[in-house]
Amino acid sequence: MDKKLILDAIKQARETSPKRNFKQSFDFIVNLKGLDLKKTENQVEFFMTLKNTRGKKTKVCALVGAELLDDAKSSCDFTIVQDDFQKYQENKKLMKKLTEDYDYFIAQANIMPKIAGAFGRVFGPRGKMPNPKAGCIVPPKTNLKPLYIKLQHTVKVSAKTSPIIQILLGKEDMPEDEIVDNLLNVYDQLIHHLPGEKNNIDSMFLKLTMGKAVKLDDKVNVQKAKEKKRLLHKKADKEEQKSGVAA
């Protein structure tokens, strides 16, 4: 995908979005085609690390035993120790608030069955269970700080029940080059996770939170390039003709 195409879309998205009293986000939306999502082999779900952060803090909660307690408290935004699992298990409102407040949950591997038993019924349907694909299930002796930093750049790309993917790329006050890099990161990874690669992409859009969606259309871009090339050839032909007349 051409960088200029994305930069033009960013400019258009800004121009068509009313000013708000909060920082809007740039979302990348991809509509898929030719995929029967009832078949698991056609479903899309993977985690990837972006080159840049998204201008938004990713909040991480650790579910640990005594072995990781001190490290979790110093590395993560919030920590729940094994002895307190029952308190959350008995309070569904408290549990639901956790899923709303935190983006990722890290789990200590050797107590994963207890974590699943205590949190699974609420976390599972909301897609918040600690996921090994994101590196969120860790041994009882590990340094959590590198994982916490990595999760600040991590996004989940998913299309399991509906052929639409929507990814938050960054905030409107971020440098445009960082938005472009993040979009290209997602696009490059996505096409390699699709069975038909580019053939499974129907359309793509970029939009600000409260703005109109701007279509990212490579066909339009290619047509513009062809038209530019045609005009250059036409200009060259005219100059050649003038040179012939002058001679």
Give one DSSP letter per residue of the chain, joined into a string: --HHHHHHHHHHHHHTS---SS--EEEEEEEE-S--TTSGGG-EEEEEE-SS--SSPPPEEEEE-GGGHHHHHHHSSEEEEGGGHHHHHT-HHHHHHHHHH-SEEEEEGGGHHHHHHHHHHHHGGGT-S--GGGT-EE-SS--HHHHHHHHTTEEEEEESSSSEEEEEEEETTS-HHHHHHHHHHHHHHHHHHSTTGGGGEEEEEEEETTS--EE--HHHHHHHHHHHHHHHHHHHHHHHHHHHHH-
In the chain, the amino acid numbered 169 is L
Predicted TM-score (pTM) of this structure: 0.79
Name the band, by pLDDT with cuts 50, 70 and 90, for residue 1. Answer: confident
Q: Is the pLDDT of residue 225 over 70?
A: no
CA nearest neighbour of 193 among 45, 38, 19 = 45
How much is the pLDDT for 239? Answer: 66
**What whole-number percentage of the chain has pLDDT above 70?**
88
How much is the pLDDT for 205? Answer: 97
DSSP string, 98-152: HHHH-SEEEEEGGGHHHHHHHHHHHHGGGT-S--GGGT-EE-SS--HHHHHHHHT
In this predicted model, what pLDDT tens digit does every residue of 116-126 receive, in sequence order?
A: 999 999 999 99
In this predicted model, what pLDDT tens digit does every residue of 76-128 receive, in sequence order?
A: 999 999 999 999 999 989 999 999 999 999 999 999 999 999 999 999 999 99
Residues 6+ apart with CB under 8 A from 1: 183, 184, 187, 216, 218
Residues 6+ apart with CB under 8 A from 177: none
Do 209 and 25 touch, CB atoms closer than 8 A? yes
Name the band, by pLDDT with cuts 50, 70 and 90, for residue 243. Answer: low
Q: Over range 195-210, report the average pLDDT.
A: 95
What is d(CA 163, CA 31) in angstroms, rounded to the nearest whole number? 6
How much is the pLDDT for 236? Answer: 63
How much is the pLDDT for 221? Answer: 46
How much is the pLDDT for 113? Answer: 97
Packing angle, helices 92-101 and 112-123, rounded to 10: 90
